């Protein structure tokens, strides 16, 4: 497996060491880019942090395949983010009392609180799962990987992954049902 | 909800994996079956919450790494100090190399491919000047976006910014995949960054490209690259034997010298 593919696998597995390695290897490149395009060091840090999250979101898109280098992808993401931010700075800020300041309404607030509570419950429950269970759910639901891809990454059979995913989800389902949040 | 509601079927529906006919049949059933509607709503919210949870985790982890690096002074370290440290390290490496070479001179050592690579590998810094000049003089640059510019990438390469040059060259090659000059300098940047496998792949193509002006240079760098790869001694020898016989190659003497050092 090439280093690029190993990094991709580490990012998919949500390993912090992958983020750290990307900072060490590519932050200076992005910093130079932002400075060259009229930004400052502080802004470069924000952009890099944001770019890492966009990178994580990009690789989870169904059918994503790494055709070049992660560094190239990260560079392109950072560049787009910075150009968008610069463009946004030129748009006048809406005056007070405009659409963005309208209250969400009681129903909207209640729904948002319920959603937040559900995410909190799921996060806690995921924390209680065994590592393999959490990894299967991460790959299947967050990374949108097929059973075959998960099986390859984890060294299981496809059938085992399917059953494991079902059981781990069933565990969460029971907790959520008992909570009456849904 | 009917008892045989298939969770997997619901997931396939939610992820848009169903074929048109299957989806239409499912939606027809969904319209009539309140329990199925409830099950779909439940799964949708559960899966959404799991996704959000992992997303929040990623955000937190990235933030944590960022804060840790900040505490360690990663962002604050002035470049001058970093460069100074690098220079001291480089000087120490040169001294160590000098001592090593002295020791080796007294006692013939076993062949060390890594040492040989560091002795003979010099990123091209002469021909690149002419190429940069030619790109300027033919008015090549103004037609391109700044970030895509080959010239800008080569200027970074010449300045020794191989990491950045590599990023620029890759972007350039996405639009101009057949540009041998960009492939050549990307390979050299990769060699400087110890990325031997991609460098070997690019150089082996260029080493066979008869119309390429730096074909022999590509062969020379390919031989050096092979030295750093597993089972690379024989392929390196084959390339060097060819170059050692080539009187038109400006590094013929070095090729011969290196060839003699290779273990039999």
How distant, in Å, are the alpha carbons of B128, B141, B144 from that of B137? 14, 9, 14
Check residue A97 and give its pLDDT: 46
User: Best residue in B6, B15, B54, B166 to probe A by mutation, most A CBs within 10 Å?
Assistant: B54
Q: How many structural domains is chain B composed of? A: 3
With a cut of 50, say whether residue B139 has pLDDT above it.
Answer: no
Average pLDDT of the residues of chain A:
86
Tell whether B2 is covered by a domain: no
- pLDDT surpasses 70 at A168: yes
Same domain, B166 and B236: yes
Residue A38 pLDDT > 60 = yes
Per-residue pLDDT tens over the stretch A110-165: 788 888 899 999 999 999 999 999 999 999 999 999 999 999 999 999 999 999 99
Residues of the domain holding B216 = 116-261
B49 and B86 in a single domain? The answer is no
Domain identity same for B252 and B143: yes
Report which listed range, B6-10, B80-84, B125-129, is most confident.
B6-10
Residues of chain A with pLDDT > 90: what percent? 55
Given pLDDT bands bounded at 50, 70 and 90, which one contains residue B29? very high
Confidence of residue A96 (pLDDT cuts 50, 70, 90): very low
Does CATH place domain A3-90 in 1.10.1740.10? yes
Decide if B55 is inside a domain. Answer: yes
Residues of B with CB under 8 A from a CB of A: 7-8, 15, 41-42, 45-47, 49-59, 61-66, 68-69, 74-75, 147, 161, 163-164, 166-167, 170-171, 174, 195, 197
Least confident stretch, A58-67, A96-105, B252-261: A96-105
Kindly tell me if the per-residue pLDDT of B103 is higher than 50: yes
- Which among A66-75, B220-229, B247-256 has the top mean pLDDT? B220-229
Lowest mean pLDDT among A84-98, A158-172, B232-246: A84-98
C-alpha dist (Å) from residue A47 to A76, A109, B147: 12, 30, 18
Please answer yes or no on whether A72 and B167 come within 8 Å at the CB atom: yes
> What band does B137 get if pLDDT is binned at 50, 70 and 90?
very low
Q: Which two tokens stand for residue B50?
A: 């799991």
Same domain, yes or no, for B93 and B174? Answer: no
pLDDT of residue A91: 61
Work out the minimum CA distance from A97 to partner chain B, whole angstroms.
31
B172 & B237 share domain: yes
Q: Give A33-68 as a DSSP string.
A: HHHHTT--HHHHHHHHHHHHHHHHHHHTSTT----S
Question: Least CA distance to A111: which residue of chain B?
Answer: B45
pLDDT at A114: 84
User: What residue spans define the domains of chain A?
Assistant: 3-90, 106-175
Angle of CA points B143, B147, B152, to nearest 5°: 80
Same domain, B37 and B88: no
pLDDT for residue B77 is more than 80: no
Q: How many whole angstroms separate alpha carbon B150 and alpha carbon B189?
A: 14
Which pLDDT value is given to residue B41? Answer: 92
> Tell me, which fold does domain A106-175 have in CATH?
Arc Repressor Mutant, subunit A (1.10.10)
Classify residue B226: in a domain, yes or no.
Answer: yes
Report the distance separating Cα B31 and Cα B29, nearest Å: 5
B/e letters for B99-123, b = 16+ CB within 10 Å, e = fewer, are: eeeeeeeeeeeeeebebbbebbbeb
User: For the residues A77-99, what does the mean pLDDT come to?
Assistant: 73
Residue A150 CA to residue A172 CA, distance in Å, equals 20
Q: How confident is the model at residue B164 (pLDDT cuts 50, 70, 90)?
A: confident
In which band, very low, low, confident or very high, does the pLDDT at B84 lie, cut at 50, 70 and 90?
low
Distance to chain B for A84, nearest Cα, Å:
16
B71 class by beta-carbon count within 10 Å (0-12 exposed, 13-18 middle, 19+ buried): exposed
Q: Which residue of A has its CA nearest to B49?
A: A119
Residue B122: pLDDT band (50, 70, 90) is confident
């Amino acid at each position: 497996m090439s280093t690029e593919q190993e990094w991709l696998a580490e990012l998919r597995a949500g390993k912090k060491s992958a983020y750290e390695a990307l900072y060490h290897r590519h932050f200076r490149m992005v910093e130079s880019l932002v400075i060259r395009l009229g930004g400052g060091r502080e802004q470069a840090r924000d952009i890099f942090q944001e770019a890492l999250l966009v990178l994580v979101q990009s690789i989870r898109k169904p059918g994503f395949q790494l055709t070049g280098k992660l560094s190239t992808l990260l560079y392109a993401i950072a560049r787009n983010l910075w150009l968008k931010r610069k463009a946004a700075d030129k748009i006048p800020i809406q005056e007070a009392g405009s659409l963005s300041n309208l209250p969400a309404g009681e129903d909207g607030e209640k729904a948002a609180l319920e959603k937040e509570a559900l995410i909190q419950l799921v996060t806690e429950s995921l924390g209680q799962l065994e590592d393999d269970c959490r990894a299967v759910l991460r790959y299947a639901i967050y990374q949108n990987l097929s059973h075959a891809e998960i099986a390859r990454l984890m060294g299981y059979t496809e059938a085992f992954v399917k059953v494991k995913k079902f059981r781990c989800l069933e565990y969460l389902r029971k907790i959520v049902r008992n909570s009456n949040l849904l | 909800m009917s008892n045989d509601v298939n969770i997997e079927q619901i997931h396939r529906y939610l992820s848009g994996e169903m074929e048109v006919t299957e989806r239409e049949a499912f939606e027809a059933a969904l319209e009539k079956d309140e329990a199925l509607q409830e099950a779909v709503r439940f799964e949708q919210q559960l899966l959404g919450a799991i996704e959000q949870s992992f997303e929040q985790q990623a955000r937190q982890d990235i933030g944590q790494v960022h804060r840790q690096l900040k505490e360690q002074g990663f962002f604050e370290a002035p470049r001058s100090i970093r460069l100074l440290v690098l220079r001291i390290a480089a000087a120490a490496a040169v001294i160590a190399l000098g001592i090593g070479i002295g020791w080796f001179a007294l006692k013939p050592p076993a062949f060390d491919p890594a040492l040989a690579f560091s002795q003979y590998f010099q990123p091209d810094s002469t021909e690149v000047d002419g190429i940069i000049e030619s790109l300027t003089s033919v008015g090549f640059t103004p037609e391109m976006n700044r970030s895509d510019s080959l010239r800008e990438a080569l200027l970074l390469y010449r300045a020794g910014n191989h990491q950045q040059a590599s990023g620029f060259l890759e972007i350039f090659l996405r639009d101009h995949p057949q540009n041998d000059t960009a492939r050549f300098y990307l390979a050299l940047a990769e060699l400087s960054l110890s990325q031997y496998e991609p460098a070997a792949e690019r150089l082996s193509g260029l080493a066979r490209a008869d119309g390429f002006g730096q074909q022999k240079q590509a062969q020379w760098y390919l031989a050096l690259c092979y030295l750093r790869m597993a089972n690379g001694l024989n392929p390196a020898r084959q390339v060097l034997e060819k170059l050692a016989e080539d009187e038109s190659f400006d590094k013929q003497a070095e090729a011969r010298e290196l060839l003699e050092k290779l273990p039999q």
